[in-house]
């Protein structure tokens, strides 16, 4: 088994289910259904089916081709878990849609899934064909994750066909590529490579790889994958004669299956292994119990290997209980099924031999025809002379008819063309309006997500009772963001300006919020300067590998509520304090949080505020706004003077004055950037 396992997260599932209770655009709703189906593939196949069918039904209703393709893909996956022929039906439909959409990445992914489905059905040559097709596409697109997955499949198909050299080659390539992109999925080809080494007698190497694979899976909470590694280690222990320890591994795998409600195949593996262990330990009655469970589990499955194992173990059980009639019957069925695969290979060879014979026969027929040809040419030449005369006369009449008819058709076409053009213009107008609405709906939904991740007013008010936040995105979504979190007695507040604005800026803001959260809540970094250093490192390693300089300018303030102490770090933007109606411009580092000319560590600054002092954090959008009588920038100096002049007012009034001044200055001109101004009294 080698399907890649998604990292299952109940939190993710709960969030997606919560979205279903909100008002969503139809295409977004299809995407949520599809994502839910993805998340529940292994943990709850029944629920996954439900959401896949819901998504498919809605996608068909609104004629959302991409959504239909994704739902077909998920349904193909789900049916393949039970080795149902329907898996190929859905996967081929998905492939057709992705080809129509000119989505080579999607086509390649579905080809990998088709290979998986054929592999489970025991058609290893077809599986290999589709894996190779997927690998070729992924190679052309330079998509490492896809390349690794296709190589994993090829390793399996070569292993089934007993070409262990090729099997090892592809498994190792899969491991190398997954390791290159730092993917925990490297544990899967590692597990299967161990199986190949076991087949060629390198047991010690196999066991080491199984254990390494299991460790990676458990570290990444990939319990689905862990089940297979546990079973494999148990199988080695069983072969070594350590039956009791092997049984403990098999039982552990079954317990994980039950806890996580994995698909039937994992249960079938566990039942089979436990039955074998019980037989080895002479506990025949218990072996029969698990053997019966295996039989019922695979009754509707078409799993080639498990069916073979069931027949073989059943034969062994009846031998152990001296029921030789049944032992013989099951052994005969076992050999018959095993031979059927060999017969399939023989059939392929016979087909090739038949093709060679047909080609030779055609060659002889051609030689005979060539002899007849010389005799026929004389008669044909005479017939052609007569025929050519008739054709010439017919052509002249036909050409005259065409000229007459053409004049008539041109008049008709002119009228039809005018009508059609008008219709096309109306249809295109309607299509543009529809697409525009769909895009705006999607961006509005993205805005809701962004607002959810930014600091909630109730949370800020609970920690900073006196504050205002003036936030005016240039577009629906924003590159500027304000964010807050609390870790024990430390309260953090950030005002930041991500690279870009609109949708690209919003993506950057979500990424930046994620890294800030990771630094404080996961890495337990407390000092603002070290937090910015960490985020800069994450940005450089994640998105700046090809010279991009994306990141953010901003201010991160930390309020120690226990020690009544305030510290901060600042990238380009500097905080401002108004004390006794005087402006105090605080320090900052003249470098961004991201790839820049300098990458020295950010400095940590202490801030001492007196009673009635007001602290202001802002980005460059307000000062850079064009307006006024001459269409010039507002500028920082004028902005700070405005802040100083209104600092005696309540914070609510200050916000209103700032917003009014901004709108008056902007007038009829376009807003040039996102605007963020925060005022607080600590």
Domain ranges across the chain: 10-102, 222-334, 454-681
Look at residue 560 and give its three-state secondary structure: strand
Per-residue pLDDT for 605 more than 90? yes
* pLDDT value at 121 more than 60: yes
Whether 444 has a pLDDT exceeding 80, the answer reads no
For residues 233 and 172, what is the distance between their CA atoms, to the nearest angstrom?
20
Q: At how many degrees (to 10) do helices 304-320 and 284-297 cross?
A: 150
Cα separation, 563 vs 608, whole angstroms? 13
Strands 582-585 and 593-594: unpaired
- Sort residue 131 into left (φ over 0), alpha (ψ -120 to 50) or beta: alpha
What is the model's pLDDT at position 630? 65
Per DSSP, the three-state class of 203 is helix
| Distance of alpha carbon 145 from alpha carbon 161, whole angstroms | 25
Of 115-124, 261-270, 303-312, 375-384, minimum mean pLDDT range: 375-384
Calculate the alpha carbon distances from 132 to 2, 170, 178, 364, 444 in Å.
16, 11, 18, 37, 41
CATH superfamily of 222-334: Tetratricopeptide repeat domain (1.25.40.10)
Q: How many CB atoms lie within 10 A of CB 328?
A: 13
Q: In the prediction, which pLDDT does 368 show?
A: 47
Find, among 42, 1, 7, 2, the residue nearest to 174 by Cα.
2
Show the tokens assigned to 662: 């901004």
pLDDT (average), residues 39-48: 76
- Residue 94 is encoded by which pair of tokens? 């998905």
For the segment 281-306, the average pLDDT, to the nearest whole number, is 82
Give the pLDDT band (50/70/90) at residue 412: low
8 A C-beta contact, residue 510 and residue 549: no
Which CATH number is correct for 454-681, 3.60.40.10, 3.40.47.10, 3.40.50.720, 1.10.510.10?
3.60.40.10
Q: What is the pLDDT of residue 423?
A: 72
Per-residue pLDDT band for 2 (boundaries 50, 70, 90) equals very low
Backbone angles phi, psi at 555, to 5 degrees: -125, 130
Residue 348: the pLDDT is 45
Residue 65: which H helix or E strand, with range? helix 65-81
- 521 HSE (CA, 13 A, CB side): 11
Q: Give the per-residue pLDDT at 137.
A: 95
Please list, in sequence order, all residues whose beta carbon lies within 8 angstroms of the beta carbon of residue 46, skipping any fewer than 6 positions away: none
**d(C-alpha 529, C-alpha 515), whole Å:** 14
Lowest mean pLDDT among 24-38, 312-326, 341-355, 572-586: 341-355
Cβ atoms of residues 330 and 315 within 8 Å: yes
Task: Give the model confidence (pLDDT) of 130-186 as tens digits.
Answer: 999 999 999 999 999 999 999 999 999 888 888 999 999 999 999 999 999 999 889
Q: Work out the pLDDT band at 364, boundaries 50, 70, 90.
A: very low
**Which residue, chain included where needed, has tokens 């579905």?**
110
Say which DSSP state 589 is in. Answer: B
Close Cβ partners of 671 (under 8 Å, ≥ 6 residues apart): 472, 474, 621, 625
Task: Give the pair of three-digit tokens for residue 115.
Answer: 């290979």
pTM above threshold 0.75: no
pLDDT mean across residues, the chain: 83
Give the strand pairing for 605-607 and 565-571: antiparallel
Contact 171/192 with Cβ under 8 angstroms?
A: yes
């Amino acid at each position: 088994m080698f399907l890649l396992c998604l990292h299952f997260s109940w939190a993710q599932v709960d969030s997606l289910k919560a979205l279903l209770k909100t008002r969503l655009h139809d295409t977004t709703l299809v995407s949520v259904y599809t994502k839910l189906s993805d998340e529940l593939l292994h943990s709850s196949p029944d629920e996954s089916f439900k959401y896949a069918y819901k998504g498919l039904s809605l996608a068909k209703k609104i004629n959302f081709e991409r959504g239909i393709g994704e739902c077909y893909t998920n349904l193909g996956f789900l049916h393949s878990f039970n080795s149902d022929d329907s898996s190929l039906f859905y996967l081929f439909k998905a492939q057709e849609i992705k080809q129509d959409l000119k989505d080579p990445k999607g086509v390649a992914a579905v080809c990998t899934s088709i290979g998986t489905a054929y592999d489970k059905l025991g058609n290893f040559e077809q599986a290999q064909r589709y894996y190779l097709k997927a690998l070729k596409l992924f190679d052309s697109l330079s998509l490492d994750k896809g390349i690794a997955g296709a190589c994993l499949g090829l390793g399996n198909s070569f292993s089934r066909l007993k070409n262990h050299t090729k099997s090892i080659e592809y498994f190792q390539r899969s491991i190398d590529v997954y390791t290159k992109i730092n993917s925990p999925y490297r544990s899967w080809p590692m597990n299967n490579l161990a199986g190949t080494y076991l087949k060629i007698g390198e047991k010690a190497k196999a066991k080491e790889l199984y254990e390494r694979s299991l460790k990676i899976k458990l570290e990444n909470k990939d319990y689905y994958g862990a089940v297979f590694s546990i079973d494999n280690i148990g199988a080695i222990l069983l072969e070594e004669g350590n039956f009791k320890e092997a049984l403990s591994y098999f039982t552990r795998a079954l317990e994980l299956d039950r806890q996580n409600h994995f698909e039937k195949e994992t249960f079938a593996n566990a039942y089979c292994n436990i039955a074998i262990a019980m037989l080895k330990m002479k506990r025949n009655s218990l072996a029969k119990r698990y053997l019966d469970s295996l039989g019922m589990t695979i009754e509707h499955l078409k799993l080639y290997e498990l069916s073979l194992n069931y027949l073989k173990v059943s034969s062994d059980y009846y031998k152990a209980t001296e029921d030789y009639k049944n032992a013989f019957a099951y052994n005969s069925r076992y050999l018959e099924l095993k031979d059927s695969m060999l017969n399939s290979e023989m059939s392929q060879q016979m087909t090739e031999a038949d093709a060679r014979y047909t080609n030779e026969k055609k060659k002889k027929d051609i030689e005979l025809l060539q002899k007849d040809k010389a005799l026929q040419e004389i008669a044909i030449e005479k017939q052609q002379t007569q025929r050519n005369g008739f054709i010439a006369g017919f052509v002249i009449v036909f050409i005259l008819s065409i000229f007459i008819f053409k004049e008539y058709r041109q008049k008709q076409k002119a009228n039809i063309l005018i009508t059609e053009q008008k219709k096309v213009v109306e249809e295109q107008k309607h299509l543009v309006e529809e697409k525009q609405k769909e895009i705006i709906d999607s961006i509005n939904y993205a805005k809701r997500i962004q607002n959810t991740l930014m600091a909630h007013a109730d949370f800020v008010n609970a920690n900073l009772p006196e504050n205002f936040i003036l936030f005016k995105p240039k577009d629906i979504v924003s590159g500027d963001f304000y964010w807050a979190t609390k870790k024990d007695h430390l309260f953090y507040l950030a005002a930041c300006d991500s690279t870009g604005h609109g949708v690209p800026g919003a993506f950057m803001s979500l990424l930046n919020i994620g890294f800030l959260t990771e630094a404080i809540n996961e890495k337990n970094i407390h000092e603002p300067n070290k937090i910015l250093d960490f985020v800069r490192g994450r940005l450089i390693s994640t998105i700046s590998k090809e010279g991009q300089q994306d990141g953010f300018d901003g201010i991160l303030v930390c309020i120690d509520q226990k020690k009544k102490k305030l510290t901060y770090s600042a990238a380009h933007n500097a905080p401002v304090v108004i004390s006794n109606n005087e402006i105090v411009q605080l320090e900052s580092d003249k470098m961004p949080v991201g790839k820049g000319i300098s990458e020295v560590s950010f400095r940590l600054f202490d801030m001492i505020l007196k009673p009635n002092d007001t602290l202001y954090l802002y980005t460059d959008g307000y000062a850079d706004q064009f307006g006024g009588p001459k269409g010039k920038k507002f500028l920082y100096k004028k902005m700070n003077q405005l802040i100083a002049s209104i600092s005696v007012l309540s914070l609510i009034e200050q916000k209103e004055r700032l917003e009014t001044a901004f709108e008056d200055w902007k007038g009829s001109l376009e807003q040039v950037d996102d605007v963020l101004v925060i005022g607080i009294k600590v």
